[in-house]
Amino acid sequence: MDTKFMLDMCQLANAEKGKKITILGAGIAGLVAAYELEKMGHEVTIMEGSPRIGGRVWTHRFGNEKDAPYAELGAMRIPSSHNHTLHYVNEMGLSDKLCKFVTVFEEQNAFMNIEGNIFRMKDAPRIFQERYQGIYTDTRYSEQTRLFAAWLQTIVNTISPGNLRESLEKDLRSHLMDELERLDLGVYFSEDGENIDLQAFIQDNPGFRARCSKALDMFFGDILVETSHDLLQIQGGMEQLIWRLVESVKAEIHCNQQVTAIRVKENFVEIDWLEMVSCIPAFLTTFFVRFLSLYCGRWN
Ligand SMILES: Cc1cc2nc3c(=O)[nH]c(=O)nc-3n(C[C@H](O)[C@H](O)[C@H](O)COP(=O)(O)OP(=O)(O)OC[C@H]3O[C@@H](n4cnc5c(N)ncnc54)[C@H](O)[C@@H]3O)c2cc1C
């Protein structure tokens, strides 16, 4: 549904103004809720359990300078179909910072780690073949099938948990190599033959996915998102969206207040919370928090 239309509907359904509202959590959902509720004329307070604002949006900066390098520890890609997120990127004046998110599979010079050794992505499948031999060098299959299988394994190894890596290897050995051999794989290799378009392969061959183990099939579903060509990012870090939202709301944001109970009464809501004290040694913190919990706060 169009974001603006959805917000108009909310406005119509909530004509009453001036309510006092407490939002639990200063992640992006809590901040957007505060922003919209304030626009509707309500008074908002945000309680955040951790010492940090942003939740699972977390840009780590290596230094304090403006152009210091950074890494995203949480959300980093915005699929171009995520209209609601893009609505707020636009609303917060960050549209001009939107740029293509280059996935590790599109950047052939990206580094990857194979058992503690660092290789460039483009070299990984060949190295894989040399190291693991077996099905990846089995001459009963064409060179194209073997290289394609090595690419599949490389991609799965790069972004999947350990059990899926073993699952793919087992499936390849038992029947997927035969399946690959039957397919026309040439169309999925890049012109120089050194890269594959896994997106197109998975989309075009539902039969291949159907023959994979259930977990692997689900993982290939994720890969359609992970390797999509139309992912966007906010240049300079996703956290900018968080900080622009923080600047746009009047709401006070109370960090270190972890909500422990919510009781809905007839005309109000009661909340209990723990005041987390982070400036004292960890072994004392537990004691302190337990002590405080006996006097836990109460908001009406
Ligand atoms: C590693 C990683 C990568 C990701 N990559 C992407 C991506 O590329 N693209 C994408 O769209 N999404 C991605 N996501 C998902 C995205 O980050 C989340 O969907 C989104 O940030 C969730 O926002 P939220 O506000 O709903 O929840 P959160 O960000 O989890 O915020 C909830 C907040 O509530 C606080 N809280 C919890 N309990 C209490 C309590 N009892 N009292 C008070 N406060 C409390 C938490 O401390 C937290 O700050 C990724 C997530 C992770 C972890």
Asked whether residue 124 carries a pLDDT value surpassing 70, the answer given is yes
d(CA 292, CA 273): 9
What whole-number distance in Å separates Cα of residue 115 and Cα of residue 271? 49
Average pLDDT in the 232-239 region? 96
Please indicate whether residue 164 or residue 26 has the higher confidence score (pLDDT).
26
Listed residue (260, 164, 258, 170) closest to 218, CA to CA:
164
- What confidence category does residue 39 fall into, taking pLDDT thresholds of 50, 70 and 90? very high
Which of 45, 52, 56 for mutating ligand 1's site (highest number of atoms within 8 Å of CB)? Answer: 56
| E strands, the chain, in order | 20-24, 43-47, 59-61, 70-72, 78-79, 98-100, 111-114, 117-120, 231-234, 252-254, 257-264, 269-275, 297-299
Give me ligand 1 centre to Cα 28, in Å. 7
Token reading at 48 = 């955040």
Look at residue 278 and tell me whether its pLDDT is greater than 70: no
Kindly state the average pLDDT of the residues 24-38.
97
Pocket of ligand 1 (CB under 6 A): 24-30, 47-50, 55-57, 74-77, 258-259
Residues carrying CATH 3.50.50.60, the chain? 3-100+237-299
DSSP-assigned states of every residue in 213-224: -HHHHHHHHHHH
Label residue 77 exposed, middle or buried (CB < 10 Å: 0-12, 13-18, 19+): middle
Q: 171 to each of 20, 39, 195, how far by Cα in Å?
A: 57, 54, 22
Question: How many angstroms does the Cα of residue 42 sit away from the middle of ligand 1?
Answer: 24
Name beta bridge partners: 72: 59
Q: How many residues does the chain have?
A: 300
Instruction: Point out the ligand 1 atom lying closest to the alpha carbon of residue 30.
Output: 25
Which tens digit of pLDDT belongs to each residue from 8-21? 888 888 888 899 99
Q: Give 3-100+237-299's CATH code, choosing from 3.40.50.300, 3.30.930.10, 3.50.50.60, 3.40.50.970.
A: 3.50.50.60
CA 141 to ligand 1 centroid distance, Å? 45
pLDDT per residue as tens digits for the range 60-74:
999 988 889 999 999
* Beta carbons of 33 and 10 less than 8 angstroms apart: no
Ligand 1 atom, smallest distance to 273 CA: 42
Residues 61-70: contacts with CB within 8 Å, 24+ apart? 61/237, 70/236, 70/237
Q: Is the pLDDT of residue 121 over 60?
A: yes
**In this structure, which residue's CA is closest to atom 2 in ligand 1?**
74
